[in-house]
Amino acid sequence: MPHINKAVPNAYQYFPLNEPSIGTCTSSEKEVPALFRPLVLRGTEFKNRIFVAPMCQYSSDNGHATDWHLVHIGGFATRGVGAICMEATSVVPEGRIAPEDAGIWTDTQIEPLRRIVNFCHAQGTKIGIQLAHAGRKASTHAPWVQRKAGSGAPHTASEEENGWPNNVYGPSNLPYADDYPSPKAMSEQDMDDLERAFVSAIGRCERAGFDFIEIHAAHGYLLHSFLSPLSNVRDDVYGGQPLENRMRFPLRIADACRKAWPHKPLFVRISASDWAEGPEQDEAGLWRQWDIEQSKIFCGELQKLGVDLVDCSSGGNWAQQKIPLKHGYQVHFAEAIKQAHPTLAVSTVGLITDPLQADSYIRSGKADVVSLARELIRSPHWALFAAKKLGVAVKPANQYERGWY
């Protein structure tokens, strides 16, 4: 009987076949830890609950992914995570955070993304993409460019620096901070155009082969800024005090995306809190900032539209925010949303490093998924280290087995 190094069937190149898939728990003598139990959303099975959170790389060529992205994302696909969500990818050029941010506004951007998707699929790993518009935080510098500019330098990227400071939009004409661009308040025509851009981007996502889509409604970018009374002071049906008004445009985008993406999972990333000073709602019943009570209502509306998972982050909309950074500092937000909507899948993210604690968040029902970013940069094989700490064996890539056995 011949012994052959089997190939992944129908892959675009030769890749050794991993059986079972990389990141699958192979221990049979004890209960599978919560982190390594499969999760099924809208018919798509994720082999474990460790997801790669979107990480902006500021490395795109006029919005086009490059080989940096292939190596960066592909490396996670070979190291045991359950799913990868690619970075904030703008549906229009002016929606990028920085000039070198990712985009999906034109068909020429499909093929570089398809190459990355195909590689991840050949390694047995699901991959999605985060669709975004930076709103009033657009046309700014990449972080290391800003650091080199020094303290006191404006965050705004000028036209000379490849920016578009006069073509930045938000719900109102309030800048995020004094050294950020001054946005134009979006008109109804602007909103109509952007809705069409999201739907067109979803068509490109389908052609690229993504397994899921996440809508970015967090971190002070456009959709979050519509939600918060700190950044949305419109006096029409899309703003002001009524929560229904402030939710209207984000829900409209989510509804359009769900209808354009009917068969695969749809996620939404939210900021559950602005981390602003004072109460969420004052004694007179006026909403003063965006926080967990409005977030719970918003998530309920998202679930009604057919959103499959809420990716629960926080902050980014109030420049004076003071966040108590520590392991799992945002888990209580995910837990509150999960308690309010038990049948809605919820992901938690934010400085999660310890496997035992991460497993406990899922085991205790505080979240269904943990998403990691910085820790995976430091330790790309975190999933396999987590399995070892939890006392179970997990399948490494064939090519890396010698490092684990």
Please choose, from the candidates 32, 27, 23, 33, the residue with its C-alpha nearest in 3D space to the C-alpha of residue 84: 23
Residue 221 annotated to the active site: yes
Q: End-to-end alpha-carbon separation of the chain, Å?
A: 26
Please choose, from the candidates 127, 58, 45, 47, the residue with its C-alpha nearest in 3D space to the C-alpha of residue 86: 127
Burial label, 89 (beta-carbon count in 10 A; 0-12, 13-18, 19+): buried
Q: Take residue 83 and report the two structure tokens written for it.
A: 């799913």
CA distance 360 to 261: 33
Q: Take residue 78 and report the two structure tokens written for it.
A: 């070979």
Give residue 98's identity as a one-letter amino acid code. Answer: A
Please choose, from the candidates 10, 6, 16, 265, the residue with its C-alpha nearest in 3D space to the C-alpha of residue 123: 16
Contact 130, 113 (CB under 8 A): no
Which position among 58, 180, 221, 238 bears the catalytic label?
221
CA distance 213 to 364: 27
Residues identified as active-site: 221
